[in-house]
Structure 1
Amino acid sequence: MKQLLRKALVLGVAALSLGVQARADKGMWLLNELTKENIAQMKELGFRLPIDSLYSLDKPSVANSVVIFGRGCTGVTVSDKGLVFTNHHCGFDAIQSVSAVDHDYLRDGFVSQQFSEELPIEGLTISYLSSIKDVTKEILAQLKKPKDELDRLAQIRKICDALEIAEGRRLKSDHKRIEVRPYYANNKYYLLTYDVFTDIRLVFAPPGSVGKFGGDTDNWMWPRQTGDFSVFRVYAGKDNAPADYSKDNVPYKPKYHATVSTEGYQKGDYAMTIGFPGSTSRYIPSFAIQNRMADQNAPRIEVRGAKQELWWAAMQADQATRIKYASKYARSSNYWKNSIGMNKALVKLDVLGAKRAEEQAFNQWVAQGGKATKAYQGLLSEMEQAYKGQAALMRDYTYLTEAYSGMEAAALAYGLKDIRYKDMAENGSKIKAGIEDVYKNYVPSLDERVLPAMLDILRQRVSSERVAALFSQIDRDYKGDTKAYAKALFAKSIVPYKDKVLAAIEREDFSHVLAEDPAYKLALSLREIILPLGKELNRYNEAISRGNRLYFAGRQQMNPTKPMPSDANSTMRLSYGSIKPYSPADATEYDYFTTPRGILEKNADAANPDYVVASSFLDLLKKKDWGRWADKSGELHV
């Protein structure tokens, strides 16, 4: 264990760039679209490399080392043998998938000493961007005069699908991913091609008290001392091409691998990130932000908070439950904490005030522009009316969809609906394996406790006429007692119990059995509310989508010399800036790095489980034997 903890300290320093406080120039820039202004700013801040060393179509560059890890995280290749660093929270699902009570890598960590000890992770992929092509003209040339904005989007989607299929046929590879993505609020389009590697193996994971130190308390916060990293390796066939798992595969030799710096950083140093950020909304108007805060974030915070409280209590009471729900909890709480922080920051920074000033300037420009700005007349007013019309619907929709995701038995039941008895003879083994996989991280007794909490929130928060049918049976048969309803559902349903489901799918009348199951009926009741509500929301999407596209185009026309980075959309971006302290409040300044002292100080808060640290790790910290990893003052940066 001590050896593992020492490795955690060393690798934590090596992954220092993940925890440094950098103040970035605003924007997440496409590397193939960097302007002279961008490059001049970067050089002024201290960038010294040739620009084509970051991104190039003609030679290996830093961009070739950056990967999409799994379903959307970022990683970086750091060796010529396919070693990839990513965040601990990004590798969390993978670590959980190979953990069990008798080898709890989530809690204790994992380290391989040689290639043969690395653990294959089923279903995990790592993708390298191999090409990017502007297809805007090609798409717009095929676009017929649309009836409205939704028709325009539908036509474009059809054209994009055809482009993706054609490119797939040309490349003829099962290990390519091809997608056309919109940029600049649907004003520009790129066709992206990725090499997708499917043989990925776990190399190193720090103990949970390192990788998740600070937990939900420190998530999205600073200062923090979490060792938020994990290490994987990409394997390829002997031809160095992507290949399905085989013991004969060899470590991948990448086009380029990044060098890990151990020199550290100083205040004012140039800093940058290259990665695949999920989404941003830089250009939405003030009324869209109001909608996000009140009608999406607030319901999400309430529903997930209630669900997570019950999950957490069960996870603390039982080790097996903790392992099963660790990944679910982490995914849920990440966006929950993000929503909390977003709402606080939007108020604190008066983002609504800044947006309203932008809108006022835009309207003045439109009013003075004559024919040149005719397309934008009344645009913001139309968007405001659409967002106002959506508000109550969006609030109900968010409560319903968030609650539905917390009712696991209902979701499981609906997922079984496509299983047919006639398919069992040919695909029975595959179907059963899928069921085993779905149920391996599910605890019926916990779900039974969560269900009434979700229903109670829906009764309190969603408009009564919308959920009247949902609660009619509960009110009639159980006098409104949601706990009694949940108890009866779990007593009568086969869905929460894997063995019962595996037996039921062998029956010819399985479809009828499922149709009469109370968990399936609950799923249908919820979906009969949610799906029509989604269609109601779509009535406003035409004005919103058209408005966003034209508002962005209008602002570009209004400020033709001002670079405007496209919103993030899970494609490769560059952000740059410099290392600086952070001042979140009056008379408060946070340094750009943290030290082990912060770990010891937080660990003294015995009441907070997020700050629990293994005693052997504490002993190492207290010795302060940092070796060559110490800075000039003798301190270790974490």
Structure 2
Amino acid sequence: MKKLFLSLTILFVAFTARADEGMWLLKELNRENIARMQELGFTFPADQLYSEQNPSLKDAVVIFGGGCTGVVVSEEGLVFTNHHCGYGAIQQLSAVEHDYLRDGFAAASKSDELYADGLTVSFLRSMEDVTDRIAPHVPLVMSEIQRELAIDSISNELISEYESDPFTRARVIPFFSRNKYYVVLYDLFRDVRMVVAPPSSVGKFGGDTDNWMWPRHTGDFSVFRVYAGKDNQPANYSADNVPYQPKYVVPVSLAGATEGDYAMTVGYPGSTQRYLSSWGIRQRMESENKPRIEVRGAKQEIWWDAMTANDTIRIKYASKYAGSSNYWKNSMGMNEALTRLGVLPEKEALESRLAEWIKNNPAQGNKYEGTLATLKEAYTASDELARNTTYFLETFNNGIELIRFANTILRFDSDGTEEDKQAFINDRLVES
């Protein structure tokens, strides 16, 4: 859920190597944001960033698969995304006889493009503020469990209300620490075909060693094409489908960039934990990252031994291994960087200054009295639970394929024919 919204990350690069930065929802950009952007070199028409009535940049930036970002670059539905985002589809289409993971793939014509079963591309249609339909029903006097149940119940009602057909996806997404809620609607395209995939020697150059490192020299790209029915609307896969004609296309520039140019990124990012307290950071390092590193390291060692001994196993487990190793490396790098950069002492110093300010400014600080002590108490009390939860998720929930398959069945949409359902289940069994 945390990735299913469109935001704008703006990075202003100057010769001094200083950057002003921020993250905004495109829909909520205001005049002050735009004016500041223009001061710093932004020349793109502001009204073409986000519009629900007219073609805009939001119509070219897509959710690729379960949460990656892609961008539409041609009038015939070509989508650029990362190699690691297309990796699951590349693996699914590979076999010992045609090992696209090892050798890469390039379609010489549209007829050579390969349908990636189960892969979807989602285009943002609209966002509607539904805070008034949720907030009144979740008063602060509720327990956290009661709040979660109430929010889930209302969200499910809203999703049922807004999902009018199989190609409309609705999500209720909280923002700003659950102070605002949006219903976000997407047009869901289910016919997506692989066009270009570099060999892993390019797309995963450096492997786990270079992952999450900078500078990095990986050719981390892949190219897919979105297909639609002859009416240009989303459709299930059919040989009769045609390349989708998008509302908006982002041109590919060969000019490159020069130092000092204005730059921004539009996409579907993950979440940030930069505002965690010192106790939250310590819990993340000790009770989440360390168990994750331990369990995934042991699991990956077993996988790797089997993968290097058998090409069939290597291909079948390539995507699983890559998915596991991604945040295994992230967790190791995070702990190393937080220690090397002295983030914990910095946070503790900041909290000391905040405590002093609260003490010396009772008129303004009274409402924050006890906040730091409450945070410390809550994190300290939950450390063991957080550690045990991480072990459970990494070993049982995310470790046993049968459990993941069962969860897929539980989430399976009740719509569709019995033949469709059986085909879906068979496909998931093959994947597992």
TM norm. shorter chain > 0.5: yes
Residue in 2 aligned with 1:281?
273
Structure 1: which 5+ residue stretches go unaligned? 1-19, 419-425, 442-638
Correspondences of 1:200-599 after superposition (within 5 Å): 200-367=192-359, 370=362, 374-404=366-396, 407-408=399-400, 411=403, 434-435=425-426, 437-440=428-431
Alpha-carbon spacing, 1:352–1:236, altered in 2? closer, same or farther (3 Å) = same
| Structure 1 residue 326, shift from structure 2 partner | 0.4
1:238–1:428 distance in 2 versus 1, CA, 3 Å:
closer
Q: 2:114 aligns with which of 116, 119, 128?
A: 119
8 A contact 2:405–2:429 mirrored in 1: no
After TM superposition, give the deviation of residue 370 of structure 1 in Å. 4.9
Counterpart-to-counterpart distance in 2, 1:277 and 1:294? 25
Match of 1:85 in 2: 80
Note the alpha carbon deviations across 1:60-95, whole angstroms, 9 max, x for none. 221210000001000000011110000000000001
Alignment of 1:12-51 (within 5 A): 25-51=20-46
Matches within 5 A, 1:37-76: 37-76=32-71
User: Residue 118 of structure 1: CA displacement?
Assistant: 0.9
Shift of the 161–38 alpha-carbon distance from structure 1 to 2, 3 Å rule, reads same
Helix, strand or coil for the counterpart of 2:126?
strand
Amino acid of the structure 2 residue aligned with 1:79: S
Quote how far apart the aligned CAs of 1:106 are: 0.8
Instruction: String of CA shifts for 1:547-599, please: whole Å, max 9, x gaps.
Output: xxxxxxxxxxxxxxxxxxxxxxxxxxxxxxxxxxxxxxxxxxxxxxxxxxxxx
Cα distance, 1:374 vs. partner? 4.8
The aligned counterpart of 2:414 is none
Q: Is the 8 A contact 2:397 2:404 kept in 1?
A: no
Q: Deviations over 1:603-628 (max 9, x none)?
A: xxxxxxxxxxxxxxxxxxxxxxxxxx
Aligned residues: CA RMSD: 2.8
Deviation at 1:188, TM superposition (A): 1.2
Which has the higher mean CA deviation after the structures are superposed, 140-149 or 409-418?
Answer: 409-418
Q: What code does the residue aligned with 1:58 have?
A: Q
Shift in CA distance, 409/244, structure 1 to aligned 2, threshold 3 Å: closer
Tell me the secondary structure at the aligned position of residue 223 of structure 1: coil
Distance in 1, Cα, partners of 2:161 & 2:95: 44
Once residues 137 and 58 of structure 1 are traced to their aligned partners in structure 2, the CA distance between those partners, rounded to angstroms, is: 24
Is the 1:307–1:406 Cα contact (8 Å) retained in structure 2?
A: no
| Amino acid aligned to 2:238 | S
Q: Cα offset for 1:282?
A: 2.9
CA contact (8 A) 1:286 1:352 kept: yes
Residue identity opposite 2:29 in structure 1: L
Report if aligned partners of 2:228, 2:242 keep a CA contact under 8 Å in 1: yes
Quick one: which amino acid aligns to residue 202 of structure 1? M
Q: Secondary structure at the match of 2:142?
A: coil
How far is the alpha carbon of 1:310 from its aligned partner? 2.1
| Cα offset, 1:225, TM superposition | 1.5
Equivalent pair of 1:146/1:152 in contact (CA under 8 Å) = no
CA distance in 2: counterparts of 1:406 and 1:145, whole angstroms: 33
Q: Is the 8 A contact 1:101 1:319 kept in 2?
A: yes
TM-score, normalised with respect to structure 1: 0.60
Residue pairs, 1:72-151, within 5 angstroms: 72-143=67-138, 146-151=141-146
Partners of 1:413 and 1:52 in 2: CA distance:
45
Aligned partners of 1:391, 1:273: CA distance in 2, in Å? 36
State which drifts further: 400-409 or 211-220: 400-409
Question: Does the C-alpha gap of structure 1 residues 149 and 325 become closer, same or farther in structure 2, counting only changes over 3 Å?
Answer: closer
- Match of 2:153, SS state, is helix
1:476-515 deviation line (CA, Å, top 9, x unaligned): xxxxxxxxxxxxxxxxxxxxxxxxxxxxxxxxxxxxxxxx
* Gap change, CA 1:372 and 1:208, over 3 Å in 2: same
1:405 positional shift: 5.2
Name 1:184's counterpart in structure 2: 176
Shift of 1:121: 0.8
TM-score, length basis structure 2:
0.87
Q: Using the alignment, how far apart are the partners of 1:39 and 1:197 within structure 2?
A: 32
- The one-letter amino acid paired with 2:208 is D
The SS at the match of 1:28 is strand
8 Å Cα contact 2:76/2:243 also seen in 1: yes
Letter in 2 for 1:313: D
Distance 1:195 1:428 in 2: 24
Q: Which residue pairs with 2:156 in the alignment? A: 161
Give the letter aligned to residue 25 of structure 1.
D
Q: Please identify which structure carries the higher strand content.
A: 2
Q: Is the 8 A contact 2:398 2:404 kept in 1?
A: no
Following the alignment from structure 2 to structure 1, what is the Cα–Cα distance between the partners of residues 401 and 128?
A: 44
User: How many residues end up aligned between the 2 structures?
Assistant: 412
SS at match of 2:51: coil
Which is bigger in relative contact order (C-alpha 8 A, separation at least 6)?
Answer: 1
Q: 5 Å matches for 1:595-610?
A: none
- Deviations for 1:369-409, whole angstroms, at most 9, x for unmatched residues? 65765543312211211111111222232223212257536
Measured after TM superposition, the shift of residue 410 of structure 1 is 6.3
Verify the 8 A CA contact 2:71 2:250 in the aligned structure 1: yes
Shift of 1:317: 1.8
Equivalent residues of 1:131, 1:193 under 8 A apart: yes
Contact 2:405 2:428 (8 Å CA) reproduced = no
1:336 Cα deviation from its structure 2 partner:
0.5
Partner in structure 2 of residue 572 of structure 1: none
CA distance 1:238–1:369, change in 2 (3 Å)? farther
Deviation at 1:163?
2.3
**Following the alignment from structure 1 to structure 2, what is the Cα–Cα distance between the partners of residues 155 and 92?**
37
Q: Secondary structure at the match of 2:24?
A: coil
Q: Which residue of 2 aligns with 1:195?
A: 187
Deviation at 1:109, TM superposition (A): 0.9
Q: Give structure 2 stretches of 5+ with no counterpart.
A: 1-12, 411-416
Q: Hey, what does 1:576 align to over in structure 2? A: none
1:203 and 1:294, CA in 2 relative to 1: closer, same or farther beyond 3 A? same
